[in-house]
Amino acid sequence: MSGLVKSSIARKVVMALSGLFLVFFLAQHFTINITSVLAPDTFNEWSHFMGYNGVVQFILQPILIAGVIVHFVMGIGLEIRNNKARAVKYKKYNGGANASWMSRNMIITGLVVLAFLGLHFYDFWIHEMDYKYIAGNAEDPTRYYAETVEKFEPFWRTVIYVISFVLLALHLWHGFASSFQSMGVNNKYSPAIQTFTKIYAIVIPLGFIFIALYHHFNPITH
């Protein structure tokens, strides 16, 4: 089994599995977020559950963070290794002739999404930790909706969120279907996987953009 962590193919599979896990998580995250537009009470209820349920907090959340870290660390390692594999670069390299921009620039889109995750963590996760454990506030199952809408009040933050989601879409456009190829799936279902990837890569980020813009333009009036 030791070959599984050292070989190029094994790393490909780890990249694919962690990526698919994050894709799945994204759909779940979106499902909760869209309730902030459709049904604020449900949003409060679900957010409270996510914030105080032991399984979510102490099992699923660490798994998610580990998933992000694995995907990121493997991605950086991949980039470094691949750079070394062509130490002397071409003077003229026509990459656009044979591969999409998305497939060639996963490191760029990935790093932007990672930087965004930093801000996102600061906005919501750090805030949550502070609220619960440092300030030691009591449980308040009604606070989430207002807190979320308030976050999107500043124009700069809304813009950053929107740009990040566009980059996320580009990342998903290549990454989602690509993970199936990495795991050895290339058969009669592959065209369907490609189509689903494209729909997913557009619909989910567009949905997140809609939510951000919606809250920005519909602030809570005090």
Partner 1 sequence: MRLNLKIWRQKDANSKGQMVDYTIKGVEGDMSFLEMLDVLNEELINKGEEPVHFDHDCREGICGACSLQINGEPHGPDRLVTTCQLHMRKFNDGDTIVIEPFRATAFPVIKDLVVDRSAFDRIQQAGGYISVNTSGNTVDANATPIEKEKADDSFYAATCIGCGACVAACKNASAMLFTSAKVSQFALLPQGRVEATERVQNMVRQMDLEGFGNCTNTGACEVECPKGISLENIARMNREYLNATVKG
Q: Can you give the binding site for partner 1, defined by CB under 8 A?
A: 1, 3-4, 6-13, 78, 81-82, 84-95, 97-100, 103-104, 106, 174, 178, 181-186
In angstroms, what is the minimal distance from the CB of 172 to partner 1?
Answer: 14
In angstroms, what is the minimal distance from the CB of 64 to partner 1?
Answer: 24
What tokens were used for 109? Answer: 């889109």
Query: Helix, strand, coil: what percent of the chain each, to 5?
Result: 80, 0, 20
In angstroms, what is the minimal distance from the CB of 7 to partner 1?
Answer: 6
- Closer Cβ to partner 1, 187 or 221, answer by number: 187
What is the distance between the alpha carbons of residues 132 and 141, in angstroms, rounded to a whole number? 12
- Give the residue among 140, 161, 122, 136 at the shortest CA–CA distance from 33: 161
- Closer Cβ to partner 1, 95 or 141, answer by number: 95
- Closer Cβ to partner 1, 4 or 73, answer by number: 4
- Give the residue among 164, 185, 173 at the shortest CA–CA distance from 19: 173
In angstroms, what is the minimal distance from the CB of 100 to partner 1?
Answer: 7
Cα diameter, the chain:
62
- Closer Cβ to partner 1, 72 or 121, answer by number: 72
What is the distance between the alpha carbons of residues 184 and 47, in angstroms, rounded to a whole number? 37
In angstroms, what is the minimal distance from the CB of 27 to partner 1?
Answer: 22
